[in-house]
Chains A and B, each alone.
Chain A
Amino acid sequence: MAVVTLRAPLRDRTGGTARHDLPGGTVGEVLRELERRHPPVTGWILNEQGRIRPHVLVFVNGERTREDTALGPGDVLQVLPSISGGRT
């Protein structure tokens, strides 16, 4: 099991829950499981091809990662929007 933590507005699309314990061997598998359990978040973090969206950052234990990164038990995924200074 990995732990996924979400902020608004993603948290609002998973029933208001910020912490999710989810199975999966990779970051992509865990995020797909999040979509399966909470369909309203489908397409928000991963695009339809399973890629992390360009302006979404996913960290594993504090290190930025990709969808094919392997996970171990207790790993913590944080999902955050990217910094967007300069854009109005």
Chain B
Amino acid sequence: MTELLVGTKKGLFVLRGDASAGGPFAIAHRAFPGDVVEFAMRDPRTGRYFASVTSGFYGPRLMYTDDPTGEWEQAVGPAFPEGTDTAVERIWVVKPGEADGLLYAGVDPAALFVSTDGGASWSLNEPLWEERKAGDWAPGLGGLALHSICPWPGDPQRLAIGISAAGVWITEDGGKSWRTGYTGLVPEYLPEEAREGTSALCVHNMHRAPLRPERLFMQFHGNVYRSDDAGATWNEIGAGLPSGFGFPMVLDPADPDSAFVIPLVGAEDRVMPEGKVRVFGTRDAGAAWTTLGNGLPGHEAYLTVLRQAFAGEGEGERMGLYFGATNGEVFGSGDGGASWFTVHDRLAKVHSVRVA
């Protein structure tokens, strides 16, 4: 039995089903009706569930529970300290850290919040906020978003984060100091003479390969990149994809040469190329990409999949892959993308998908 947490424009859907049976999954519960659920996940260490909920009237809040079909409790924060003259607009992501009780949250406007009590309360990482105040950070179309958080397995001192549109930031002292990781990223959306040294780097998604932690994969604004030196330098690996533009990305945790992406036509036309719903996967670190579309709509399907709406479960040939589109359809695979089934076809606009 697989449990999916699908955050939508109209609440959180808890779906349950058996991937080996080929779907569909049943709705076990709908939480936060009427509110946008930007992101939801389960901390595998504690079993605690988190949901980033944004009311159009009453603002953003982080909720948590041990039972997603039961009552949820509101966390204390993330919230900016008084005097910063800044308020959280949206909570993009929650990520478990590498120490007991340690979690991170990335928000808009770009800031990192840290919890050391299992997610009940949160505080601002001040050194990164100082970098943000000193820098010329500009928002992307979706805001100034800290959306990607990449812990280093076994080492709570090391962390890399991705910001749209302020690039990659790396700490090796538990967040006391930060440095950039920009070299090799090409912001083709800027004039050539404006690219050198710019911080206006639109990272769309970033993940670390757990078994080879110095390796990171990135979906950038106009290409897919790989770093083999912990984010210091980056190389393009998008040749072979129908487009370098996209948002979602998943890695196979057992295969440091693996990445899965869902390309879109481009920044001005954010739908799947050729009207075909396809995932593309590599298992040779980006040298070649395989089309994974068996069972997905293959014509007249102009879907969009948002940044957090793609998730993995398990590893290898039996790896589960799940994604949801802005038209409310959710698809799944129980064999690493070799074949796909419809998980649910009539939800609201999907903002995020995670396997509980």
Chain A residues within CB distance 8 Å of chain B: 9-10, 40, 42-45, 47-51, 53, 55-56, 81-82, 84, 87
Shortest CB–CB separation between residue A84 and chain B, in angstroms?
A: 6
Closest to B55 in A: A44
Closest to B87 in A: A47
Assess the A56–B58 pair: CB atoms within 8 A.
yes
Cα–Cα, bound, A82→B81 (Å)? 26
Please encode chain B, from 74 to 107, with 1 for each CB lying within 8 Å of some chain A CB and 0 for all others. 1000011110111110000000000000000000
Closest to B57 in A: A81
Cα–Cα, bound, A25→B23 (Å)? 59
User: What residues on B are CB-neighbors of A44 within 8 Å?
Assistant: 55, 58-59, 61
Chain B: how many interface residues by the 8 Å CB criterion? 16
Known: A40-B74, A47-B87, A48-B87. A82 touches B82 (CB 8 A): no
Known: A40-B74, A47-B87, A48-B88. A53 touches B80 (CB 8 A): no
Assess the B59–A51 pair: CB atoms within 8 A.
no
- B56 part of interface (Cβ distance < 8 Å): yes
Cα–Cα, bound, A42→B59 (Å)? 11
Cα–Cα, bound, A87→B56 (Å)? 10
Closest to A44 in B: B58
Cα–Cα, bound, A51→B86 (Å)? 10
Cα–Cα, bound, A67→B82 (Å)? 15
What total count of A-B pairs have CB within 8 Å? 44
Assess the A49–B57 pair: CB atoms within 8 A.
no
Return 26 A-B CB contacts under 8 Å, by A number: A9-B58, A10-B58, A40-B74, A42-B74, A43-B61, A44-B58, A44-B61, A45-B58, A47-B59, A47-B87, A47-B88, A48-B79, A48-B81, A48-B82, A48-B87, A49-B85, A49-B86, A51-B87, A53-B59, A55-B58, A56-B57, A56-B58, A81-B57, A82-B57, A84-B57, A87-B56
Assess the B56–A55 pair: CB atoms within 8 A.
yes
Chain B residues within CB distance 8 Å of chain A: 55-59, 61, 74, 79-82, 84-88
Shortest CB–CB separation between residue B340 and chain A, in angstroms?
A: 29
**Which 7 pairs, one residue from A and one from B, show the smallest C-beta to C-beta distance?**
A48-B79, A47-B87, A81-B57, A44-B58, A55-B57, A53-B59, A48-B80
Cα–Cα, bound, A45→B55 (Å)? 11
Closest to A45 in B: B58
Assess the A43–B59 pair: CB atoms within 8 A.
yes
Assess the A84–B80 pair: CB atoms within 8 A.
no
User: What residues on A are CB-neighbors of B58 within 8 Å?
Assistant: 9-10, 43-45, 53, 55-56, 81
Cα–Cα, bound, A72→B88 (Å)? 32
User: What residues on B are CB-neighbors of A51 within 8 Å?
Assistant: 87
Assess the A49–B56 pair: CB atoms within 8 A.
no
Shortest CB–CB separation between residue B167 and chain A, in angstroms?
A: 26
Shortest CB–CB separation between residue A76 and chain B, in angstroms?
A: 21
User: What residues on B are CB-neighbors of A50 within 8 Å?
Assistant: 82
Cα–Cα, bound, A5→B59 (Å)? 20
Partner of B82, one of A42, A49, A81: A49
User: What residues on A are CB-neighbors of B82 within 8 Å?
Assistant: 48-50
Shortest CB–CB separation between residue A43 and chain B, in angstroms?
A: 6
Assess the B84–A49 pair: CB atoms within 8 A.
yes
Cα–Cα, bound, A44→B80 (Å)? 15
Closest to A57 in B: B57
Closest to B81 in A: A48
Shortest CB–CB separation between residue A37 and chain B, in angstroms?
A: 16
Assess the A53–B57 pair: CB atoms within 8 A.
yes
Cα–Cα, bound, A44→B35 (Å)? 13
Cα–Cα, bound, A49→B86 (Å)? 7
User: What residues on B are CB-neighbors of A49 within 8 Å?
Assistant: 80, 82, 84-87
Closest to B9 in A: A88
Closest to A88 in B: B9
Closest to A87 in B: B56
User: What residues on B are CB-neighbors of A45 within 8 Å?
Assistant: 58
Closest to A13 in B: B74
Shortest CB–CB separation between residue B70 and chain A, in angstroms?
A: 16
Shortest CB–CB separation between residue A58 and chain B, in angstroms?
A: 12
